[in-house]
Chain A
Amino acid sequence: MTAVRVLVGTQKGGFVLTSDGSRKEWQVSGPHFGGWEIYHMVGSPADPDRLFASQSSSWFGQVVQRSDDGGRSWQPVGNEFTYEGTPGPHQWYDGTPHPWEFARVWHFEPSPTDPDVVFAGAEDAAIFKSTDGGASWVELPGLRTHATAPNWQPGAGGMCVHTILVDPTDPERMHVAISAAGVFRSEDGGTTWRPANRGLKSEGIPDSEAEVGHCVHRIARHPERSETLFMQKHWDVMRSDDGGDSWREISGDLPSDFGFPIGVHAHEPDTVYVVPIKSDSEHYPPEGKLRVYRSRTGGEDWEPLTKGLPQADCYVNVLRDAMAIDTMDPCGVYFGTTGGQVYGSADAGDSWQPIVRDLPRVLSVEVQALA
């Protein structure tokens, strides 16, 4: 690998950060789509120069941008996300029925093997698929029409599909996570779905162990161990070793088990990263110290990673899609904050440096290691 490209979506535009394999000196390109919210920018594993960006605004709706040259130029592609049939209601914040309405794309998940195939996770919660590089989108309605869907309620940020995992060993096997419905899994490429939340416990919902209704913030896994999933829930860090059929808590000695992102080391399937946040009422790091926590044991035992990160008076948050891990050796870890800093580590988290300090609020971070 000779280069690394970090894709940063912010509240006011997208940025592309590039470096050579040393990951010490960085060039910053952007803002792309200045003034627009870029919820997610990501590259295709099958063609790293093909990038997708979710560009949206409260004024002008959803735009999907695609680049075929690694972010040097972009072109708008399809932006029609139509729910199949007549969408019924889900529950609104106050428990009353609310019609399903498309708001934005939170997350793109390109196929690991086909550059023209990409999935989109939407608010209000639904999954769409494109087989023509984003030119057109078709809903996979089995998720939104699941029997439990009329009881789904939005999380604070909206009712969104924010995580999509496609099993690299079997693309028919998929997982999604929805705030605040929980995890769903499919064995048939997204046609049918079933809840995968057994073992989750959430105070604040009527049945703390309900089949659905859990505010799952993020799930992640190592590509070579597809049955093992890690989860950062609203509260609790969780692990499943049966593809999501059952979960157990691995929060262990974390200073707080509230947080948003979770990531897995590129070469060590039992090494996991989280960024603890003080509480659901106070979205900033405990004690004003920005610490990434790493477990090398698959959970329970966590070590703080602090070298190069602010350890006083730091009150930023790290959002669910704002941490990424590259495939270099040692792997690089990157995250962006609501204060506009993007930090990177070229040594699997042992030490950190700010790549850029003063971007708008960071919504998402992805990374590509380029040959």
Chain B
Amino acid sequence: MIRVTLPYHLRVLAGTGKEVQLSVEEPVTQRAVIDALEATYPTLRGTIRDPVTERRRAFVRFFACEEDISHEPPDAPLPPEVADGREAFHVVGAMAGG
């Protein structure tokens, strides 16, 4: 199972806890994880990436294995530690605003 952590507002919107677990078929990529997340929690559709362009929203970042992988291609394989569930895929909201 793939582990995904969510920022506070998306947890509330999805009605779930900080971490969710998803079944994702190989290859495990950013796109595959977000597709699975949106399929499991349809209320999150459009909140992480634009529903039309599928571009990641500017104030959302993806972290894994202590690296910022936001700018990796969406179809690039995620680290094996994420694919086998040892590490979580982190969806992070930018620390900005008032």
What residues of chain A have their CB less than 8 Å away from a CB belonging to chain B? 35-36, 57-63, 76, 79-80, 82, 102
Residues of B within 8 A of A79 (CB): 45-46, 51
Q: Check A60 against B51 for contact (C-beta < 8 Å).
A: no
Q: Check A59 against B51 for contact (C-beta < 8 Å).
A: no
Q: Check B9 against A36 for contact (C-beta < 8 Å).
A: yes
Q: How far is the CA of A63 from the CA of B14 in the complex (A)?
A: 12
Q: How far is the CA of A61 from the CA of B53 in the complex (A)?
A: 13
Instruction: Tell me if B10 counts as interface (CB < 8 A to partner A).
Output: yes
Q: Check A76 against B52 for contact (C-beta < 8 Å).
A: no
Q: 21 pairs across A/B with beta carbons < 8 Å?
A: A35-B8, A57-B9, A58-B59, A59-B7, A59-B97, A60-B9, A60-B10, A60-B13, A60-B48, A60-B57, A60-B93, A61-B57, A63-B13, A63-B46, A79-B46, A79-B51, A80-B45, A80-B46, A80-B51, A80-B52, A82-B51
| Secondary structure of the A contact surface, majority rule | loop
B14 to chain A: closest residue by CB: A76
Beta-carbon contacts of B78-97 to A below 8 Å, as 1s and 0s? Answer: 00000000000000011001
B93 to chain A: closest residue by CB: A59
Which listed residue, A60, A80, A82, A102, touches B60 by the CB 8 Å rule? A60
Q: Check A62 against B46 for contact (C-beta < 8 Å).
A: yes
Q: Check A76 against B93 for contact (C-beta < 8 Å).
A: no
Which listed residue, A35, A63, A82, touches B47 by the CB 8 Å rule? A63
Beyond A35-B9, A79-B45, list 19 extra A-B contacts (CB 8 Å).
Answer: A58-B59, A58-B97, A59-B60, A59-B93, A59-B94, A60-B9, A60-B10, A60-B13, A60-B48, A60-B57, A61-B50, A63-B13, A63-B46, A63-B47, A76-B43, A79-B46, A80-B45, A80-B51, A80-B52
From known contacts A79-B51, A80-B51, A82-B52, infer whether A59 and B45 are also in contact, taking CB-CB under 8 Å.
no
Residues of A within 8 A of B93 (CB): 59-60
Residues of A within 8 A of B50 (CB): 61
B residues 37-91 near A (Cβ < 8 Å) are 43, 45-48, 50-52, 57, 59-60
Q: How far is the CA of A63 from the CA of B45 in the complex (A)?
A: 9
Q: Give the shortest distance, in Å, between A144 (CB) and chain B (any CB).
A: 15
Residues of A within 8 A of B8 (CB): 35
A77 to chain B: closest residue by CB: B43
Q: How far is the CA of A271 from the CA of B52 in the complex (A)?
A: 45
Residues of B within 8 A of A62 (CB): 46
From known contacts A35-B9, A36-B9, A76-B13, infer whether A61 and B52 are also in contact, taking CB-CB under 8 Å.
no
Residues of A within 8 A of B13 (CB): 60, 63, 76
Q: How far is the CA of A357 from the CA of B52 in the complex (A)?
A: 40
Q: How far is the CA of A59 from the CA of B57 in the complex (A)?
A: 7
Q: How far is the CA of A63 from the CA of B43 in the complex (A)?
A: 8
Beta-carbon contacts of B11-55 to A below 8 Å, as 1s and 0s? Answer: 001000000000000000000000000000001011110111000
Q: Give the shortest distance, in Å, between B75 (CB) and chain A (any CB).
A: 22
Q: Give the shortest distance, in Å, between B49 (CB) and chain A (any CB).
A: 9
Residues of A within 8 A of B60 (CB): 59-60
Q: How far is the CA of A82 from the CA of B50 in the complex (A)?
A: 10
Q: Give the shortest distance, in Å, between A86 (CB) and chain B (any CB).
A: 12
Residues of B within 8 A of A76 (CB): 13, 43
Ranked 4 nearest A-B pairs via Cβ: A60-B47, A59-B59, A76-B43, A80-B51
Report which residue of A58, A61, A62, A82 has the largest number of chain B beta carbons within 10 angstroms of its beta carbon: A61
Residues of A within 8 A of B94 (CB): 59
Report which residue of B7, B45, B46 has the largest number of chain A beta carbons within 10 angstroms of its beta carbon: B46
Residues of A within 8 A of B57 (CB): 59-61
B49 to chain A: closest residue by CB: A61
Q: How far is the CA of A79 from the CA of B59 in the complex (A)?
A: 18
A75 to chain B: closest residue by CB: B43
A57 to chain B: closest residue by CB: B9
Q: How far is the CA of A268 from the CA of B67 in the complex (A)?
A: 64
Q: How far is the CA of A60 from the CA of B11 in the complex (A)?
A: 12
Report which residue of A58, A60, A76 has the largest number of chain B beta carbons within 10 angstroms of its beta carbon: A60
Residues of A within 8 A of B97 (CB): 58-59
Q: How far is the CA of A62 from the CA of B44 in the complex (A)?
A: 10
A79 to chain B: closest residue by CB: B46
